[in-house]
Every structure is written in C-alpha cells, then in structure tokens.
Amino acid sequence: MTGQERRKIIIDAMEKSNEPLSGSDLGKFTNVSRQVVVQDIALLRAQGYTIVSTNRGYILTDVHRFTRLVKVHHSEEKTVDELQTIVDLGGTVVDVHVNHRVYGKVKAQLNIKNRRDIKLFLQDMQTGKSTPLMNITAGYHFHLISAESKEVLDDIEAALREKDYLAEVLPYEVED
C-alpha cells in the first residue's frame, strides 16, 4: 500500500467514525506504526484537511460547518452549564483558549459535541488533577464553537448572553 492509499484509508475511517481514533488504532488498521500515522496526519493537514488532536485521538472536523469565537466569563462551577448550553442547542465546543498577559495565547482542543463528551471532559479534569484553563485568567476564556448554521450559532450566543456568560473582547485580545 502506498502512502497516498494509506492516507485515503485514514481519512475514510475518520469520516465514518463518531468517536476520536487513536494513532495506535489507525496504525493497526493500516498496518503501520503510530509514528507513521502521526506523519500522515501532518501531511493530511498540509493538504487542507482539518484534523483535531484530542486526548482520545484524532477527529476530522466538518469543513462545511460554521464557526464563531466567543469570549465568556463565569466561575468553574458554571462550566457544565456553559458547555451544556452550547451542545444542547446544536453546537460543538471545538477548543478553549485564554489570552494571558504574560504567557500569551494558551489553547487546548476540546471537540465537545454532546453531554457524554462533557462527562468525559470532567472525568479527565478530575483524574488529571488539573483545573480548567480559564482559572489562569480569573474565569475569562474563549471558545471556538461550530454548528450547522449561522442561526444555530446566533441561538447559542443569545443563550450565553441571557445567562450572562458573554464577556467583552478587550483591545489586546483582538486577533488579526
């Protein structure tokens, strides 16, 4: 099998999967090492595929979805409500990032699509003995949210505004 054929199999597998696929699993599936899969993922990204790395594996994101960056602020106790608000209205929380005045932009991929993903995220936070990234910026953070339409994104933003989670973007936080 050529590298091009193998990468086609990897893309097909990711398109058909509803769950992240680990590099080891993709390697077993294509009869190569995990490191070869990592190199294939890099080549696929260079070809324009939007592949997200999560702690549970690789996900091919839908390039036909709409995205919006929102800045939010809330306590750690409101994290579940914030995430449920987004996914219950049809959104996916693609990532989280903070703009720290000393560390700069710190970003983590999430790809939270449903309440099960929220539960797994919370378990990862608890077992990893970590706290949410928003804690280094006093609860302020950004989410890239994707959805099937701009209307869904509008509904999500309205719900976050109603719950008083939306925050003002400061001049130093504006991305070029």
Please check if 76 is assigned to a binding site.
no
Please check if 141 is assigned to a binding site.
yes
CB distance 83 to 143 below 8 Å: no
Q: How is residue 24 annotated by DSSP?
A: H
Please check if 73 is assigned to a binding site.
no
3-class secondary-structure state, position 107: strand
Please check if 82 is assigned to a binding site.
yes
Virtual CA dihedral for 91, 126, 102, 161, nearest 10 degrees? 30
Beta strands in 39-119 (DSSP E): 51-54, 57-60, 66-73, 92-100, 104-112
Q: Which parts of 32-78 fold into alpha helices (H)?
A: 34-46
Nearest CA to 27 among 16, 43, 38? Answer: 38
| Annotated binding residues | 74, 82, 141, 143
Annotation: binding site for Ni(2+): 74, 82, 141, 143
